[in-house]
């Protein structure tokens, strides 16, 4: 599903950068004005992201969600098709995130052929899902389960009770080292061949050039082997996300 800052002003009004070698910076959108957290999240400037954001939000605090820490967490706002997430809990599947990224020439202009010269939609990370809790389930969960989310901004918020439509945590996973393109290298609003071949809508429909895939929750079930092959070809470390070596 789509996450992170994008060109809509409410969600930051900018796109995070992808560089010529496929590396990128995943940036979340600003925390809403008036929200109080303990501890307070960092600003874009404190994270060193100043060169890539609009000057007027340099000192805005960042809503670090999804949070790719030692334990990955995500406070999810409900959207159509997200019922499939509940079937992933207990390690039954992975939740991946896509973001719209702007090509940044500051680290070299000769980008890889699959990087859109303007902007595109890319997979940026994910994790194996452990907990999926509604707000009412979270409120009555054991303390050790709720503490799993202690670094998530929905949990650290102090001007109201901690709240999210759905609380999701996971184990194996994290940010990718190299983004995986989902959109066409020329026309960013159109899916590329990988997206059309591997993903389906949650109602089972194929992804075509007329489907606004970047707004949807996408499902990869029958073509999981092809999915992991593409992800791990750019990110060899991701192979362990599928079959982790237990220590």
Name the residue ranges covered by the structural domains of the chain. Answer: 65-241
Three-state DSSP at 1 gives coil
**Which are the contacts of 178, defined by CB distance < 8 A and separation ≥ 6?**
21, 22, 23, 24, 234, 235
pLDDT for 242 equals 84
pLDDT, one tens digit per residue, over 159-168 is 988 899 999 9
pLDDT for 195 equals 98
Dihedral of CA atoms 88, 77, 38, 51 in degrees, nearest 10, equals 100
Helix or strand (DSSP H, E) at 230:
helix 224-234
pLDDT for 202 equals 94
67 phi and psi angles, rounded to 5 deg: -110, 110
Please identify which residue in the block is written with the tokens 């503490």.
147
CB 34 within 8 A of CB 159: yes
As given in the structure block, the two tokens for residue 195 are 């997206």
pLDDT, one tens digit per residue, over 76-132 is 999 899 999 999 999 999 999 999 999 999 888 788 999 999 999 999 999 999 999
Phi-psi sector, 30: left (phi>0), alpha (psi -120 to 50), beta: beta
- Count Cα atoms within 13 angstroms, Cβ side, for 93: 15
Three-state DSSP at 114 gives coil
pLDDT for 247 equals 44
Dihedral of CA atoms 98, 100, 105, 107 in degrees, nearest 10, equals -30
**Which are the contacts of 212, defined by CB distance < 8 A and separation ≥ 6?**
189
pLDDT for 244 equals 64
157 phi and psi angles, rounded to 5 deg: -65, 135
Tally Cβ neighbours within 10 Å of residue 212: 10
Q: Using 70 as the pLDDT threshold, list the residues of the chain that sit under it.
A: 244-247
Rounded CA-CA distance 239/76 in Å is: 26
């Amino acid at each position: 599903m789509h996450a992170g800052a994008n060109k809509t002003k409410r969600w930051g009004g900018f796109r995070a950068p992808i560089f010529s070698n496929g590396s990128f910076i995943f940036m979340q959108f600003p925390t809403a004005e008036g929200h109080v957290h303990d501890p307070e999240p960092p600003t874009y400037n404190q994270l060193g992201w100043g060169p890539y954001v609009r000057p007027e939000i340099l000192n805005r605090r960042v809503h670090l969600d999804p949070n790719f820490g030692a334990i990955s967490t995500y406070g999810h706002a409900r959207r159509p098709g997200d019922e499939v997430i509940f079937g992933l809990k207990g390690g039954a599947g992975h939740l991946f995130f896509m973001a719209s990224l702007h090509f940044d020439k500051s680290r070299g202009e000769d980008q890889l052929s699959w990087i859109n010269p303007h902007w595109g939609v890319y997979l940026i990370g994910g994790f194996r899902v452990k907990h999926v809790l509604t707000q009412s389930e979270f409120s009555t969960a054991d303390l050790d389960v709720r503490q799993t989310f202690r670094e998530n901004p929905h949990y650290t918020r102090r001007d109201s009770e901690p709240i999210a439509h759905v609380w999701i945590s996971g184990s194996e996973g994290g940010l990718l080292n190299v983004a995986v393109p989902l959109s066409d290298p020329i026309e960013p609003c159109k899916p590329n061949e990988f997206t059309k071949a591997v993903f389906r809508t949650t109602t089972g429909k194929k992804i075509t050039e007329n489907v606004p895939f970047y707004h949807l929750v996408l499902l990869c079930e029958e073509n999981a082997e092809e999915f992991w092959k593409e992800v791990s070809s750019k990110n060899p470390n991701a192979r362990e996300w599928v079959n982790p070596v237990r220590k």
